[in-house]
Amino acid sequence: MKLRNFTPHEVVLLLADGTELRFPTEGSARVAVLPEQPETIEGLPVLPPVQYGEVSGLPEPEQGTMVIASLVVALALGGSRDDLLIPATDPANVVRDPDGKIVGVRAFRRG
């Protein structure tokens, strides 16, 4: 299986045996956000929930290839593609350095 990374940064997968698999970015898939009208609540500007538009910068599905993308891209596509992997950044799967910076993930999630 081939993996291609379309997040804006390198993704590092840290396996249980200590192996690091690095996936350099090949581009950055983006999601358009639809225009919104803010409201005011007691003088505070408040935007409605985000409405996602079209996804750009993602390659067409390819046999034998999985695509690493952001959670936002996966949410915008609404489960319409079965070739997406999302870096698992929940506390149980993210690895941080002593300063708290994310240095890798232990797993991917299906997008």
pLDDT at 89 (0 to 100): 92
Residue 40 CA, distance from chain mean position: 31
Helix, strand, or coil (residue 72): helix
pTM: 0.87
What is the residue type of 38? P
pLDDT tens over the chain, length 111 residues: 999 999 999 999 999 999 999 999 999 999 999 989 999 999 999 999 989 999 999 999 999 999 999 999 999 999 999 999 999 999 999 999 999 999 999 999 999
pLDDT at 72 (0 to 100): 95
